[in-house]
Amino acid sequence: MKILVTGGAGFIGSHVVDRLLADGHRVAIVDNLSSGRRANVSPAATLHVGDIRSPQLGSIVAAERPDAVVHTAAQAAVARSVADPAFDAGVNVVGTANVLEAARRAGVRRIVYTSTGGAAYGDTDVLPTPEDHPARATSPYGVSKVAAERYLECWTGLSGGTTLALRLANVYGPRQNPHGEAGVIAIFCHRLLAGEPCLVYGDGDQTRDYVFVEDVADAIARALSRHAATGIANIGTGLETTVNELYRRLAKLAGVGAASRNAPAREGEQRRSVLDATRAKTILGWTPGTVLDDGLARTLAWFKRNAERR
């Protein structure tokens, strides 16, 4: 297939591109390089430097004529969404609407969208949380990603194509920026290797579901060929890990004996977040293939190899 990946120079998107190329697909990328990096892009893929909000997006998609679109481009920082919700909505809602319209005009038949798990559901009493739980987003980021899911539903009716939104748990792995959107694992890896103290906000007993980026790419690759898989599916491990435990594991791998430092809790932060991915197993045949300790070791090794770039 010919597949267009938005945000394909970014953390998740570049791993998706690598997997799709390995599967024998032809891949084109649209990325404005605001957070993505040229170094992440395989020479086997075609890179169009452009913004998903741009009127020129339509001509790019029309020229490429992809069979499917994987939409990973996003404003992904919760803190920025709180500070500038209009910018967040501009990228995640207006940008998504632009992608969908360009795809419709080009005759695209399949779209796979990377949405958010924890930020969509908010704090819940049902853990692990399934897809039928109400979305109670507590940040503009969560709201904008859920709103984009509604646009996908509308696009299906207008175009006759099919869509699947994958609500991702906390994704980690090689190439994640320890600054910018900054997942905690990337931050800890960067600071441990630099000999800098790691901050834990609050008591550190808040939990997250950490899923390895290559497992996410696997889910997306499976979703592209399964047009009957539609709606929403969670992508996570179903396992909770506290921030304190995460630090202990990474510090041990890095050979660092120093304890983390505590900082005041961040307002509005979820206490617990873990996803039920049973539906992904049913409709995609997907289960996570990377246990946390192996994923952490691979991630830390990548940061060590690439320390000179940071």
Q: 187: which 2 tokens?
A: 């931050």
Q: 180: which 2 tokens?
A: 């910018």
Integer Cα distance of 304 and 190 in angstroms? 8
List the beta strands (DSSP E) in 96-147: 110-116
Catalytic residue among 141, 151, 172, 210: 141
Integer Cα distance of 277 and 236 in angstroms? 6
Integer Cα distance of 141 and 92 in angstroms? 8
Integer Cα distance of 118 and 137 in angstroms? 8
- Look up 113 and say whether it is catalytic: no
Contact at 8 Å (CB) between 232 and 167?
yes
Integer Cα distance of 267 and 287 in angstroms? 33
Q: Is 43 exposed, middle or buried (0-12, 13-18, 19+ CB in 10 A)?
A: exposed
Integer Cα distance of 167 and 274 in angstroms? 11
Q: How many helices (H) and strands (E) does the chain have?
A: 12, 13
Residue 141 identity (one-letter amino acid): Y
Residue 44 identity (one-letter amino acid): A
- Closest alpha carbon to 170 in 162, 182, 156: 182
Q: 14: which 2 tokens?
A: 């570049």
Integer Cα distance of 285 and 276 in angstroms? 14
Q: Which residues are catalytic?
A: 141
